[in-house]
Amino acid sequence: MRAAPTILHLDMDAFFAAAEQASKPSLRGKPVVVGGLGPRGVVATASYEARRFGVHSAMPMAQARRLAPNAAYLVPRFAFYRAISVQVMELLGRLSPLVEPLSLDEAFVDLEAGGVADDRASVRAAGERLRRDILATTGLTGSVGLAGSKMLAKIASEEAKPDGLVLIEPGTERELLGPRSVRIIPGIGPATGEHLRRAGIVTVTDVVEAGEDELVRILGRAHGASLYRMALGHDDRPVVAERDAKSVSVEDTFDVDLHDRLRIRLEVERLAERCVARLRGSGHSGRTIVLKVRRYDFSTLTRSETLRGPTDDPVVVREAAGRLLELVDTTGGVRLLGVGVSGLADYTQEDLFAQAEAREAALAGEAALPAGAEEPAAGAGAAPAPPTATETAERRWAAGHDVRHAEYGAGWVQGSGVGRVTVRFEEPTSAPGRVRTFPVDDPDLEPSEPLPLVPGGATGAAA
């Protein structure tokens, strides 16, 4: 724990959705939801306008559509987001050599290592300058937290949202944390939070009053001791420039044991898509898919499958997890399910852009397929049947993706189906544009690279 607030946490505001609004003038100030558009799709990011309707990340897309039926629903453009992320990370690197990226839109920075004076005014000035530079470079906003530890800097950036800066003075940690939910502490997810609630531990003050011995009894030695230190405001984790991630995983514990095999399969598929979203957010791909199953009797089984090469394709991960589930006996019920990817690697830019269209179409799910078509198998080594000309054209026009027409210029896809594609023609620096509809095989309409958000800035293909 530092005596000065020299650890900075940056979190871009509703990053994917904000990037879409910045590039599409007609969507500014309106609810926008980015994620998989198929029946099993989940929300990756919701704009603040959509959040007012109760839409949030990791929510099933079907539920989001019920809450905000008039929102714009778009397929992610990961190459575009990565290009913006590169610009943001470069700005962070100017502040300090110690930058710890957590995802495309989030990072810690050690200002002390960058030579920023440890007085409050200098630290705040560095944070405000960063926010201005991000806005000028990308056209987007980010929220900044400043504190003497990583935990508190992250809490501060959450308090600062949207588009703000909060500095937590060292020495005020106990007062600040005390009345907050125990879930505010890193590592306390829904399952652990519920476990603590049943023991009467709801707030951070409750954690401190319970004492380390009781927490160790409830959660085990490592977790209990760590939770107690965090509740006291003690967090000595350093900012690490090179994160050596070995795996990415997600899991859910169910209040009632699952018995229905179809429900279990659907939960595994949902977890697989969440895992891929986290995998992509960390900038990795992976070769080994892992399934974790905790049964009714608390016995835990893990099964894994190693692919021929690294992937961050949600269809590949989903189907591999489904195959692994077939190897597990779930008779008697299931308490917990988890899906992970290990054997991580970084995609080269050539790999990334060569695969971008296929991976983004996969995330769109069945909604990107023509009516009545079946989703092709995409497991490791599978060779799907060649699509028809109509299927190829339909699948090419994913909602939100960039196009260019020989006569009307640059635009983006509002939707497609029944042999037609609807396009709104506008650019990041133009007024909201007009909408036109074309046959999906119109020879004058072609997919296009994203335009820069700021004149002279990088495009989605440049990073």
Query: 350 is written with which tokens?
Result: 């050539």
Residue 123 has pLDDT above 90, yes or no: yes
- Average pLDDT, integer, range 48-73: 94
Cβ–Cβ under 8 Å, residues 18 and 47: yes
pLDDT of residue 351 exceeding 80, the answer is no
**Per-residue pLDDT band at 457 (split at 50, 70, 90):** low
Q: In the predicted model, what is the mean pLDDT of residues 59-87? A: 93
Amino acid at 395: R
- Quote the tokens at residue 191: 């399952």
Spatial distance between the Cα atoms of 288 and 246, rounded to a whole number of angstroms: 11
Confidence at 363, pLDDT banded by 50, 70, 90: very low
Average of per-residue pLDDT across 114-121: 91
**Helix%, strand%, coil% for the chain, nearest 5:** 40, 25, 35
Average pLDDT over every residue of 141-146: 97
Task: Provide the pLDDT for residue 188.
Answer: 81
pLDDT at 370: 29
To 5 degrees, how large is the angle CA 167–CA 138–CA 353? 120
Q: At residue 347, does pLDDT exceed 70?
A: no
pLDDT at site 244 = 56
Cβ-based neighbours of 69, under 8 Å, separated by 6 or more: none
Instruction: Give the whole-angstrom CA distance, residue 95 versus residue 100.
Output: 12
Whether 404 has a pLDDT exceeding 70, the answer reads: yes
Note the pLDDT of residue 384: 35
| 1-5, 175-179, 359-363, 439-443: the lowest-pLDDT one | 359-363
The predicted structure's pLDDT at residue 456: 59
> Strand 165-167 to strand 142-147: parallel, antiparallel, or no bridges (unpaired)?
parallel
Above 50 in pLDDT, residue 51? yes
Task: Give the residue, 85 or 368, on which the prediction is more confident.
Answer: 85
Residues 428, 22 contacting (CB under 8 angstroms): yes
Mean pLDDT, rounded, for 382-390:
38
Write down the pLDDT at residue 458.
Answer: 54
Q: Kindly list the catalytic residues.
A: 106
pLDDT band per the 50, 70, 90 thresholds, residue 352: very low
**pLDDT > 70: what percent of the chain?**
86
pTM > 0.85: yes or no:
no
Calculate mean pLDDT across residues 439-456: 89
Task: Determine the distance from the C-alpha atom of residue 52 to the mean position of all C-alpha atoms in its chain, rounded to a whole number.
Answer: 19
Q: Is the pLDDT of residue 354 over 50?
A: no
The whole-chain average pLDDT of the chain stands at 84
- The confidence band for 334, taking pLDDT boundaries of 50, 70 and 90, is very high
State whether residue 101 is helix, strand or coil. strand
Task: Flag whether pLDDT at 40 surpasses 90.
Answer: no
What was the pLDDT predicted at 202? 95
Whether the predicted pLDDT of 367 surpasses 90 = no
With a cut of 60, say whether residue 394 has pLDDT above it.
no
Range among 131-135, 219-223, 311-315 rated most confident = 131-135
311-320, 370-379, 406-415: which range is least confident on average?
A: 370-379
Q: Which DSSP letter does residue 222 get?
A: H
Q: What is the arithmetic mean of pLDDT over 163-185? A: 91
Yes or no: say if 119 and 135 are a contact pair by the CB < 8 Å rule: no
pLDDT in tens, 248-294: 889 888 878 899 999 999 999 999 999 998 888 777 788 899 999 99
